[in-house]
């Protein structure tokens, strides 16, 4: 049966940590990353994703991305970034638990050392003035290398809460 999810790694954060790393990508299957109720310790923070090689985040400036930002309180926006050192998800802030972000990300070609690794996203964000927004798009690490997972972090401060799970899609 196609379309089943097999859990590869999970991490539930209940007190401040600098980052969460999930590894275990070891096949050419598509993988899915789930982020649930991510909250941070400092206001107006970027949520970032980096791909990992042997468990270490790739910090090169080889991430390209584009997405549509959908906002309940105003019109849509567009985000397009080239040659960045991470995949940008969104901005969130405090006070916790008012602001949070949630998302489903699909990971492609991660185990293939001859191809670029791709990510797609469907996210939803809740801010402190109770406005809902979301993102839909994707990105690529323009380096042909085998990646074994992802690191989720903030640009400053820490991740205060959240459940992060990596699945293999079979």
Residue 18 belongs to domain with CATH number: 2.60.120
What's residue 35's pLDDT? Answer: 98
| pLDDT at residue 149, as a whole number | 98
**What are the tens digits of pLDDT across the range 79-91?**
999 999 999 998 8
Q: Over 60: is that where the pLDDT of 112 sits?
A: yes
20-29, pLDDT tens digit by residue?
999 999 999 9
Contacts of 1 (CB under 8 A, 6+ apart): none
Alpha carbon distance 133, 144 (integer Å):
33
Q: What is the mean pLDDT of the chain?
A: 92
Q: Strand pairing partners for 22?
A: 150
Per-residue pLDDT, 80 = 95
Task: Check whether 157 has a pLDDT greater than 70.
Answer: yes
Q: How many domains does the chain have?
A: 1
Domain holding 30, by residue range, is 5-169
Closest to 31 measured CA to CA, from 170, 127, 133: 170
| Residue 136 CB neighbours (<10 A) | 12
* Residue 47 pLDDT greater than 60, yes or no: yes
pLDDT reported for residue 72? 81
Going by their DSSP bridges, the two strands 132-141 and 117-126 should be labelled as antiparallel
């Amino acid at each position: 049966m196609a379309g089943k999810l097999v859990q590869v790694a999970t991490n539930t954060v209940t007190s401040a940590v600098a980052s969460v790393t999930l590894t275990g990508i070891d096949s050419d299957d598509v993988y899915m990353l789930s982020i649930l109720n991510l909250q941070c310790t400092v206001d107006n923070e970027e949520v970032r994703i980096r791909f990992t090689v042997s468990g270490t985040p790739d910090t090169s400036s080889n991430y390209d991305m584009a997405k549509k930002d959908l906002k309940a309180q105003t019109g849509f926006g567009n985000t397009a970034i080239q040659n960045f050192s991470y995949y940008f998800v969104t901005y969130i802030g405090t006070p916790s638990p008012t602001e949070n972000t949630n998302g489903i990300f699909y990971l492609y070609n991660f185990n293939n050392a001859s191809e670029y690794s791709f990510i797609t996203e469907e996210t939803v964000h809740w801010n402190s003035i109770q406005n809902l927004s979301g993102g839909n798009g994707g990105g690529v690490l323009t380096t042909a290398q085998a990646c074994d997972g992802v690191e989720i972090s903030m640009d400053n401060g820490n991740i205060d809460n959240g459940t992060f799970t990596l699945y293999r899609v079979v």
